[in-house]
Amino acid sequence: MPGKKDASSSACRWGKRSIRVWEKGDGPDYRSIFFDIQLDTQREGRSCGMCGIVGYIGTRKVVPILIEGLRRLEYRGYDSAGLVYEHGGRLVKYRAAGKLSNLEAEVDENIGVASHTGIGHTRWATHGAPTRDNAHPHSDCTGELVVVHNGIIENYGRLKKELEAKGHRFASQTDTEVLAHLIEEYLDDDLVTAVREALARVEGSYALGVLWAGDPDTLVAARNHSPLVMGVGEDACFIASDVPALLPYTRQVIFLDDRELAVLSRGSYTVMDVDDGAVLDKEVRTIDWNAAMAEKGGFKHFMLKEIYEQPQAILNTVSGRIVPDTGAVELPEIGLDDDAIRSIRRIALVACGTSWHAALVAKYWIEKWAGIPVEVDIASEFRYRRLLLGPDVLTISISQSGETADTLAGIRLAAELGSRVVTICNVVGSTMTREADGVIYTHAGPEIGVASTKAFTSQLAALFLLTLYLGQVRGTMDPATGKALATGLVGVATVIEEELPRMQEQIRVLIEDYYDARDFLFVGRGLNFPIALEGALKLKEISYIHAEGYAAGELKHGPIALIDRDMPVLALVPRDSVYQKTVSNVEEIKARQGRLVLIGTAGDEHLARLTDDVLYLPPVHEELNPLLYTIPAQLLSYEIANRRGCDVDQPRNLAKSVTVE
């Protein structure tokens, strides 16, 4: 057998049609077409692992196909990668931490091996640090069965304990490895039956590829709440987590729906129901996308794609952390026992930029529902004053990357002063998560656009979960209220998903009167004041329009001097506890001929009397307005920047992570 073996080895029911994605101005609008695809493929399954899967079985050499497929999916995950192929009745596995180039170097000498079946994976970590041992594919005890997986197995802890008691040996920290051992437990001589029986035990989301040395002419795939697409050729079949991996080889695809399983061989396939084994008739679709648009899921920019991914990102963040029957929140990874939580006398929230705005929202939540005083610090200023920290102060850092230099320096100083540290972060294994006492992962998946969108709303979701948990443990929130708020958090994701296309279409028309503005003000009160700050930040980041956010009540303390008929003002005016105060501030703007854009609650006719430019949103629980009202602010910034011809995904002078002070 050539090569070296890895040391660890031992919703979519569309009408039949061709799909084409156009750029704006060339045929139908690309947004509406993509949203049709997005809803159909993910309506039933809202949580979605953001890793990249590719698989092939056919007559061509498999390794170049796997490498090229992973290269086209690397935007979905880039902390480790791996592949496995069948050769001479055995499975040969390669894995590497870091970028895909590291895997390519590992497998280089066997790039042309005469193997025709294999699976590959590029990872965005959700369980376990981004190391070689945690990289996919994962094996069973024998090393003869391997699995690649996107998604989150919510009951993996219970399954792992059960399998360990039966003698199974685990080599990684991932939830995925449980699947390999669970399939092994049921495997006799029928791989398909073993996969179906294993999946009957699984709770959570998955897109799977499974290979077994005992049946090397079969590749099994399955999907639940995580996207998976099959490619069909004359003498080959493919699987991938996204269309780009398939484009060099076929445009004929089948989108699997939730709880469907596919059995692939050379040039033929069968799709069946996971639960009852019934064979399903799936229609083959023709994809006509260019590679760049396919990588972005049909969107013109990554930022817009990531705006539309927010409902899933929010639900990924809360998935497995809320007990459905009671609404109780479970955060075992927080690293604090109940006595430690009850002993907290103060919380210090430390963050930069967009994450700082999330912290400002959390201050309102935590003080109201957990009864703990909260200070919010910009990380770049945090350690340049005398910090009054100690064992009774909890320091919470918020960072998408977990590598932000200022925030990292701040939590190190806090730890030196005796404060316990918890980090809210999107990147498993990042420096901040390794150095903290506890962590709450947001599970938003990779965010490619420099301007943060889904990372922000996922941070809000994580901070709201933390608020509920603190109130629950400290007894400051009654169970009925906690359940209502937890239910509302899950529900707001559905509201966002349903409202996104309408919001975008209305905003795309509205911005024609505003895209050439030189300045812009955003105002809000209470929970929506930080959202005004965030909206202004987004606009200045990607459109280069000077924009400022203010607490609406502060207008008369200076900013109102700027108001005239040339000054656009976006005001967030939901029907909440400060509604009358905010309306009064808006009327002051109107009296000075300010150009008003209002975002408020559906049915509020008073707003329509103040301006023609009103965007109405459905009512949600007042505490959750920040998540909902963030979306139109993001869309406004995106549409203005796009209209001005700006580089939306890579605005000038900005980087995704600030890793130097």
Pairwise CA distance, residues 374 & 506, whole Å: 38
Beta strands in 344-451 (DSSP E): 346-351, 374-378, 393-399, 420-425, 438-441
- Residue 646: active-site member: no
What the block records as the tokens of 469 is 């948990």
Q: What is the dihedral of CA 190, 192, 196, 197, to 10 degrees?
A: 10
CA-CA distance, 297 to 488, in Å (whole number)? 29
Catalytic residue among 12, 51, 425, 646: 51
Bridge pairing between strands 206-212 and 393-399? unpaired
Kind and range of the H or E element at 608?
A: helix 605-610
Which class for 340: exposed (0-12), middle (13-18), buried (19 or more C-beta within 10 A)?
A: middle
- Tokens at 461, concatenated: 């979701």
Residues 6+ apart with CB under 8 A from 97: 79, 80, 130, 131, 132, 135
Catalytic residue among 61, 581, 590, 656: 656
Give the amino acid at 463.
Answer: L
What separation in angstroms does the CA of 354 have from each of 454, 471, 557, 657?
11, 25, 25, 12
Q: Are the beta carbons of 378 and 403 closer than 8 angstroms?
A: no
Q: Which two tokens stand for residue 50?
A: 């953001």
Active site residue 51: yes
Amino acid identity, position 630 = T
Pick left, alpha or beta for residue 435 (phi over 0 → left; psi -120 to 50 → alpha; otherwise beta): alpha
Q: How far apart are CA 46 and CA 58, in angstroms?
A: 32
**Active centre residues (catalytic):** 51, 656
